[in-house]
Structure 1
Amino acid sequence: MTNLSMDATQLAKLPSTIISVYDLLADTALEIPQYQRPYKWTGKHINQLFADIAIHKDKSAYRLGTIVFHREGEKKNIVDGQQRTISLLLAARALIQRCKAQALESDDLQERLIALEPLMVDPCFTSEISQKNIHSNYLEVARIVSRADFTEAHIDFFLHKCQVVAVELADVSEAFQFFDSQNARGRDLEPHDLLKAYHLREFSPRDEHLKVATVARWERTKTQELAKLFAQYLYRIRSWSKGASARYFSKDDSDLFKGVNLDTVASYPYVEQLRIAHHFVDHYNGQYERKIDTREMAFPFHLDQIIINGRRFFELISHYQNEVARISAKSWNEHERGGESALDGFAPRIMKVLDNYPAKTRTGDRYVRAMFDCLLIYYIDKFGHAELSRAIEKIFIWAYSLRLQMQVVQLASMDNYVLANNLFRLIKDATRPADVINQPLKSLTSSNSTKTEAIEALFREMKYRE
């Protein structure tokens, strides 16, 4: 093929089969070529894989993803899926060691595991990164499969009901082309795309009829807007409120937006309030009276809440898309917002200055504005518009003290400042607006910033610049 990318029709015509993990690992033609990148899965990935397997163990089958092969003579080189395949190999070897140490009750399962050992590929890795991760991950998976709660039913499910989609192509360029197409014209999917796929799998069977509309709403949003929503707002707020660093949002951080599946999670005490809210909102909105009064109750989302997987995740993202858009709008003084009167005190001037001072587009100034916006969004998410003008004043002084103190503000500067002066934690623990508004802040004795005269003038008027 000579075209640079495959369209959906071409992808659908490619040869693929669904095979079990056992059949994948028992394929003696399997090869992991030397040109593959180092093995970088960590213990976190291993634990997540087996946690997912435990959740889905009662299903008739569980799909682990796609493996792309390039056929070269008698060999089947893995083009995509190397990380997953190596991890499955490690798990199988740990299971074989377990059944050698103590025979399984099922003779058939015992025999199949022992018969698998000589069939499996035994790749050689020269990379120190690969060697280190393989060693530590083998120990991690050995701990998991040697536990008493990892039963023979789990072993059978892992080997025979966990599956992969195997795509085999004869042309190596076509194989890599398919690999690129599968990964959205690049090796790494955006974190929000991975979260979309994860939460679609987590849909309750009762909500299956809502999937099409849910995906349509998601797809109507430009990917750049979703990336910004997650990276600039949701990721930072959730991380900073936990006291954790929040510089770059990557796929390794996607677990921050995974929570509980109410259909499969155990009845832990902490889950009950989520379960009650979830079902009550659905019950209220489903009553026949709603057809008369046309009222609809929104789910009470919070930025630092435990995520409810599936439909509620997509509703949460839609909710905060709207909230961020509303808070970012330059209309604070034009009308009443949320039933509250327009801003007063210094707040109207603060918002006007931040939207208009000449240096606002500099990189450092954008970082500081991001701090301001995130904390303001978090405050409104917690307390609504109660004492909002006073909160804006406090948040302004907190955020822009960094701008006036530093000549150059970098991403690390912003992150370090938040963690050292963490008002996100203050809001998280607060029970009333006064807990935030009455927090004392230091005055500045000097300024190292340039082109921020309007901001410095506000600091003087507000008695925060000596």
Structure 2
Amino acid sequence: MDKHFESIATVVKISDFLSCENYAEMNLEIPFYQRPYRWGEKNITDLITDLSYQTKRLSHSRGVMFNADNAYRLGTVVLHKNSREDKEGEDKKGKKRKSLDVVDGQQRSLTLLLVLTIAKAGKFSEQLKDFIPVDIKLPNCSETQKNVSKNHTIIQRFVNSPDFTEDVLDFLLNHCEVVQVTLNELSEAFQFFDSQNARGLDLNPHDLLKAFHLREFPESENAVKQEVVEYWERQDTTRLKNLFANYLYPARRWSAGQRAMGFTKAKAGLFKGVSLGENNYPFQQGLRVIDGTIDSYIQHPHRKLDLQPMAYPFQLTQTMINGRRFFEWVTHYQMLIKPLLKNSIAAEDNNWLQSALYHHDTQQKALPTKSIRPTALVIMQVLNNKKANESGVEGEIKNYSYEGRWRQGDRYVRRMFDALVLCYYDRFGTQDLPRAIEYIFIWAYSLRLEKGSVYLQGIEKHVRENNLFVRLHQSLTPADFLNKPLPQIEINLAQAIYETIEKKNIDKLCGIKILFSDLGYCSPTKEATPNVQ
């Protein structure tokens, strides 16, 4: 938090924050300049489900003493002490009451107030007999009034359900907290709000996931938890953000046949899963067996002798396991994606991609009859623009130049290509990997050759029309994935080569077009071939 504001920030329980006694001399208001109250059923469902989940996770019961280690933070609320006097209200001494405006936190505050008001008016009246909810004054906004009325019905249904118990209500009142920031000047309030965003205090999705999964560690793993925190804090935030947004999130969504545009905080639930210490559902048994077997093997005294570790068999599309396994899962795919993100594949590299591609390239060069077909290694080198002016068969010069690789549309296509290659290796390892890279290259870059401009919407459409992620996820062997033919596309290759050689108008996709031709996926156009002397 900005040091300028530290002195006026306090942590308060919900029982204090939303209690009438806390506002004896001031009215709590939603100012007219605030956006309307817009939380809907999904937001309410997420909030109440999370409260129920945390209550159960902590084995909380009504009357349990407050434990700061188990307190659940519900965010920050920014309040402004307004100098104007309320014309309608007076305090206990008969003086005009002043206003305390909610500058930030309106959506959550109103929703929590609705929950407590409905609970007090219904089956929890005895439990809440000493609690008087604050009356938040709303602006004259029809949208806000409409949504408050609509959400009243939704929340009433939740509060009256058997799952909303006295324990859940007690947890909300006495074990949930907000950071309350109270400021005297409106400019300061907005400055604080802006500084939160500018300084990155509005958490990224992966930051929320970190907080969630750290809470899922059992007490027996506190030492490991500390190591995880230290390791995570050393990570480059931008790289973590890109890992989730560009690869992990799209791979999981596309593999499920769903759209993958925009990884936001609202979509972080895709990386939340099951806590193996809770419940005993049949579908969890396999996960529990694997988890226990791996830990038992690693902790066995024989490991001190044979030094043979066993890695957890993670899968990109697996059911997530909350807590320690989530962080191990992220680290695993951080390592797997690295070779695909490098700008080159060198012979001296030591990773799964280099090993498979150089081995295959060596095998092809050793064949009695040399093939003019480019190998997967050549494809990767072209994509990295490391294969320009390559000497080919019988001295032919192959201008594999790919000058357009840094354009935004080309980068979108490359991310889609990398994500599917990662998914393939994740499922089948190096089995037929060179052939898979060729196949995925043709599928991905046909979009680049067919479209003058590529946008994220175009990427989504391309995946949707022929979703190789879903097919791969459903395949039991590499053949199941690779044996469906891909269509050829029309390319005026001769014109592209001519213009590139003459330097009149360098074709930024020349290398890609030559690869399509050499791989047999280029059908000639009806245009005349230029006469190259």
Give the shorter-chain TM-score range.
0.7 to 0.9
Q: Does 1:300 align with 2:313?
A: yes
Whether the 8 Å CA contact 2:29–2:101 is kept in 1: the answer is yes
Q: Which amino acid aligns with 2:80?
A: H
Residue from 432, 438, 444 that aligns with 1:387: 432
1:75 partner SS:
strand
Q: Which has the higher helix share?
A: 1
Whether the 8 Å CA contact 1:180–1:186 is kept in 2: the answer is no
Q: What is the Cα deviation at residue 292 of structure 1? A: 2.5
Whether the 8 Å CA contact 2:255–2:470 is kept in 1: the answer is yes
- Structure number with bigger Rg: 2
Q: Which amino acid aligns with 2:99?
A: K
Using the alignment, how far apart are the partners of 2:320 and 2:286 within structure 1?
Answer: 12
Residue from 110, 116, 119 that aligns with 1:92: 116
Whether the 8 Å CA contact 2:345–2:381 is kept in 1: the answer is no
Structure 1 residue aligned with 2:409: 364
Structure 1 residue aligned with 2:511: 454
The total of aligned residue pairs comes to 449
Structure 1 residue aligned with 2:399: none
Whether the 8 Å CA contact 1:66–1:164 is kept in 2: the answer is yes
Q: Which amino acid aligns with 2:291?
A: H
Q: Which amino acid aligns with 2:107?
A: Q
Using the alignment, how far apart are the partners of 1:404 and 1:258 within structure 2?
Answer: 38
Q: How does 1:58-457 map to 2 (within 5 A)?
A: 58-59=59-60, 60=64, 61-72=71-82, 74-99=98-123, 108-109=126-127, 111-112=129-130, 116=132, 119-124=134-139, 126=141, 128=143, 130-131=144-145, 133-183=147-197, 185=199, 188-264=202-278, 266-329=279-342, 330-331=344-345, 337-338=351-352, 340=356, 342-344=359-361, 346-356=375-385, 357-446=402-491, 451-457=508-514
1:167–1:425 distance in 2 versus 1, CA, 3 Å: same
1:20–1:336 distance in 2 versus 1, CA, 3 Å: closer
Using the alignment, how far apart are the partners of 1:223 and 1:110 within structure 2?
Answer: 44
Q: C-alpha offsets along residues 41-73 of structure 1, whole Å, 9 cap, x if unaligned? A: 332221121112112223355432333333335
Structure 1 residue aligned with 2:36: 38
Using the alignment, how far apart are the partners of 2:227 and 2:308 within structure 1?
Answer: 21
Using the alignment, how far apart are the partners of 1:30 and 1:161 within structure 2?
Answer: 22
Q: What is the Cα deviation at residue 241 of structure 1? A: 0.8
Whether the 8 Å CA contact 2:82–2:99 is kept in 1: the answer is yes
Using the alignment, how far apart are the partners of 2:487 and 2:172 within structure 1?
Answer: 58
Q: What is the Cα deviation at residue 402 of structure 1? A: 0.7
Using the alignment, how far apart are the partners of 1:414 and 1:226 within structure 2?
Answer: 22
Q: C-alpha offsets along residues 253-304 of structure 1, whole Å, 9 cap, x if unaligned? A: 111111122233x211111222222222222222222222333222221111
1:297–1:349 distance in 2 versus 1, CA, 3 Å: same
Using the alignment, how far apart are the partners of 2:347 and 2:443 within structure 1?
Answer: 22
**Larger mean Cα displacement after TM superposition, 271-280 or 164-173:** 164-173
2:163 partner SS:
coil
- Fraction of identical pairs, as percent: 42
2:360 partner SS:
coil
Q: Which amino acid aligns with 2:292?
A: H
Using the alignment, how far apart are the partners of 1:240 and 1:453 within structure 2?
Answer: 30
**Larger mean Cα displacement after TM superposition, 335-344 or 354-363:** 335-344
1:388–1:127 distance in 2 versus 1, CA, 3 Å: farther
**Larger mean Cα displacement after TM superposition, 244-253 or 17-26:** 17-26
Normalized against structure 2, the TM-score is what? 0.77
2:383 partner SS:
helix
1:376 partner SS:
helix
Whether the 8 Å CA contact 1:192–1:226 is kept in 2: the answer is yes
Q: C-alpha offsets along residues 210-250 of structure 1, whole Å, 9 cap, x if unaligned? A: 23321222222222111111111111111111111112222
Using the alignment, how far apart are the partners of 1:15 and 1:413 within structure 2?
Answer: 46
Using the alignment, how far apart are the partners of 2:340 and 2:190 within structure 1?
Answer: 44
* Long gaps (5+) in structure 1: none
Using the alignment, how far apart are the partners of 1:311 and 1:241 within structure 2?
Answer: 24
Whether the 8 Å CA contact 1:359–1:452 is kept in 2: the answer is yes
Cα-Cα RMSD: 2.7
